[in-house]
Amino acid sequence: MKILIIDDEPQIRKLLQISLESSGYEVLEAINGTEGIQLTKKETPDVILLDLGLPDMNGHVVMQKLRTWFTAPIIILSVKNEEEDIVHALDNGANDYLTKPFRTGELLARIRLVLRNVGEEMPKLLLQFDDLTINIELHEVKLNEERIKLTATEYDMLVLMAKHEGSVLTHQFILKSLWGTAYQTETQYLRVFVAQLRKKIEKNPNRPVHIITESGVGYRFQ
């Protein structure tokens, strides 16, 4: 599979090239947004690793241009760790966001996850996460083989998160998906429902292992 790196830092590109090629990926490189867009059209990579601080144009702009036709995963790699940048990137088409410096092992795991999600063309009717089982066909959730009772909203929220396993879902995305655009700013409303859901599916709601908080951004299901 082809992975395109769009980053102007040669040291980062070299590090990524070594790690990715040793894992069996074909690596393409672009040093700015313009070259990255052109290379994407020519080579159609399976994943793009995109830096936000490019010399010719903002990485957000690059992603907006790519998303008019490119549907494969885009993972942001950036030194920017402000909530505004992360939320903006995820809401505008990024599949994931890693802050530099990052561990190459974690990046490779994120790449495998987005590729796996893309490869699942048929909808899965049974989702299994260690002690937690979600049977979409039967509309049933079990914890350690025991059925647990969820409200309709709690069930919809759990399925939404589980179907995006490993990806960060922003507050705005979850609110819009479950309640519509009128609720996109009601983050406190969302926290109440997440807390209720955690009490039912987590062994210790204060130390969750399934619904992980991404501070100031949203939640990641694992």
Residues of the chain short of pLDDT 70, as ranges, are 119-124
Task: Domain 126-221: give its CATH code.
Answer: 1.10.10.10
Cα dihedral angle (161, 88, 175, 217), rounded to 10 degrees? 60
pLDDT at 122: 46
pLDDT at 84: 83
Contact 24, 3 (CB under 8 A): no
Contacts of residue 211, defined as CB under 8 A and 6 or more positions apart, other chains included, come to 161, 194, 197, 198, 201, 202, 219, 220, 221
Q: What is the DSSP string of 82-148?
A: -HHHHHHHHHTT-SEEEESS--HHHHHHHHHHHHHHHH--SPPSEEEETTEEEETTTTEEEETTEE-
| Ranges of each domain in the chain | 2-119, 126-221
Count, residues in the chain? 222
Fold classification of 2-119 (topology level): Rossmann fold (3.40.50)
Q: What is the DSSP string of 34-85?
A: HHHHHHHHHH--SEEEE-SB-SSSBHHHHHHHHTTT--S-EEEEES---HHH
